[in-house]
Structure 1
């Protein structure tokens, strides 16, 4: 390497510091405004040179990586929390210039804690998965607000208010004008979210049916449906980056924290240091995998006796994640390949039949998983 650079990016400005390893000269620059055009002008001077760059995996890293690679740079994406921890416990002056220098020094010393940079199609898939998860959370929040308003005014509890005669029942409740307005707005927001969710869900399910890694998960494990499979694929990505399945569990945030000193041990809780969409998908899969007829029913019952139903589902979610890790790791590069485009049938030709795995249990589980995905939505 001839040039080693550290970058600290923010919405208003980007600070860069680089070292010429041949001459020992250190240079600095500040890019303002911090947009693609400004970054492109700044990087033009490095075209054709040997350049290695370290930057944190914070908001805005994607376009920076794209522009850096366009000039031939080797990019290293740093994990923010671990990078900050390497500063030590002493209180030192902190500035954008100091952060850029910190990234450069860690890269030069070979101590930079790196994050995986997914290919573009996985990044796009991850964005859609997280968008759907956000819409689902908002959908749930508005439903909870309706339930809170009803209880606040003494109405009896009723579930599935948006289905069947639920809307008629809501309209018949004796509510004051303000409460009626709250419920009307909430129902309008739910209807608007449903309009956005329907095509997005259809697109993700179609992606899962045509992608090798997702199909392997769907046909292998009871509880993993199309939406769960595509979420696991998007968030886990290349499982070869994890040393073992425990690292994958830790990445998901489903691991139980430990704080122990001498004979004192605090009760553990979920770390939740990972993608929320991945935890949601695995927990929904565990809810299906605990049903009678599932191969994991016995494991769930044993865990429920010791831990209770909720914690047993979390234990089952961790087990499903470990299985997904091994399956995707064994697939190697095939696990990340983009989905195969299906040819459009010509006029008068029959539509292609869906591929069958030949396993009755796999087909039955797939149907069950699809129904579970619909219920989860």
Structure 2
């Protein structure tokens, strides 16, 4: 049998097809009872979408069924349908299973799931704390207090606690400060667990041999990439993270645009930060040489470049060089992040510490 499962928070809509593509059964099942349904069709092939709560359902069904998790970003056939209901989606899943055309999504191991829960949980707490810090800035601004404050600083929180504001804003300020204090304690507790987890995994231990890569950064990259052996080559990892350039070809023309930005924005941001650290703080010779070569590169094809370099107009030259450095540095740091990611892939694939030419790990 071929089974399509449209998962919701408390229930799943299910369609079952036979080998001829005929509908055998359409049923709505409570998620708590999915194991009973799976036993009924043990050995069959099934597919469900990678929704927020699919881990538990996947694990439950996998005891009896051959389960494929579908990549939601590639399910255009379903998302573009004019008629979209639970029953339609479930039947479409079942048909795709029968045809072998499910765009498969990676299902992380328990170890990777635990790492993801830790780093994503910390990130959420940090975002919540920043939200309350912004509320404090807004509250102070409403009362004409323009002095720059940093509510995340212990010293400045103590100052804010002594600040006299009229009711009810004094109570609001006190409440916001308490939230920030509580969130800070929770973040510190999670960071201790993240540090311990990063120190216990061989993958993160390898990543932390890169200058400037912290335990949090290492565990985040490990958590978001998952098992490295699921990638056949470095280009696949680069594309997965979204650091690959978008390429357009038509006839004899070829154009490379900005990066695709698919995948985890969190990982891209961390890789850029790690690259800044490697180039400007740790002075990683390997990455610094690469970055500086790109950052110095000038685009001499435009007329303005010819004007600047030929006429030697001091005003235009200063303006051009400032823009060129700014644009080239942004492009260069993204390219450096991509190069760093490729190094990480080879380190994890070969189980080697960081050791490119000219660098002491």
| TM-score between both structures, scaled by the size of structure 1 | 0.74
What SS is found at the alignment partner of 2:280? Answer: coil
Matched, 1:86 2:81: no
Deviation track 1:272-328 (CA, whole Å, cap 9, x = no partner) reads 543344234324323422324421334445555252666654443333222222222
Equivalent-residue separation in structure 2 for 1:246 and 1:145 (angstroms): 42
For 1:16-165, what aligned pairs fall within 5 Å after superposition? 16-21=14-19, 25-33=22-30, 35-36=31-32, 38-47=33-42, 50-71=43-64, 73-83=65-75, 85-87=76-78, 92-158=82-148, 160-163=150-153, 165=155
What SS is found at the alignment partner of 2:208? Answer: helix
For 1:293-372, what aligned pairs fall within 5 Å after superposition? 293-295=282-284, 296-301=287-292, 305-307=325-327, 312-331=332-351, 361-362=360-361
For 1:210-289, what aligned pairs fall within 5 Å after superposition? 210-219=200-209, 221-255=210-244, 272-289=261-278
Report deviation, 1:193.
0.6
Equivalent-residue separation in structure 1 for 2:256 and 2:164 (angstroms): 46
Deviation track 1:242-285 (CA, whole Å, cap 9, x = no partner) reads 354343233334556678999xx999666554334423432432
| Count of equivalent residues | 325
Deviation track 1:45-81 (CA, whole Å, cap 9, x = no partner) reads 123xx2111111112211221111122x211111012
Equivalent-residue separation in structure 2 for 1:163 and 1:133 (angstroms): 18
Name the residue aligned to 1:11: 9
Deviation track 1:160-209 (CA, whole Å, cap 9, x = no partner) reads 44435323433465644444333322211111111211221111111111
Name the residue aligned to 1:339: none
Name the residue aligned to 2:175: 185
Equivalent-residue separation in structure 2 for 1:96 and 1:245 (angstroms): 38
Name the residue aligned to 1:368: none
Report deviation, 1:134.
0.6
Report deviation, 1:10.
1.5
What SS is found at the alignment partner of 2:125? Answer: helix
Equivalent-residue separation in structure 2 for 1:318 and 1:14 (angstroms): 40
Deviation track 1:338-362 (CA, whole Å, cap 9, x = no partner) reads xxxxxxxxxxxxxxxxxxxxxx943
User: Does the aligned pair in 1 maintain the 2:245–2:256 contact within 8 Å?
Assistant: no
Equivalent-residue separation in structure 2 for 1:155 and 1:310 (angstroms): 36
Matched, 1:169 2:147: no
User: Does the aligned pair in 1 maintain the 2:16–2:94 contact within 8 Å?
Assistant: yes
- Listed as ranges, the gaps of 5+ residues in structure 1 are 336-359, 363-377
User: Does the aligned pair in 2 maintain the 1:15–1:28 contact within 8 Å?
Assistant: no
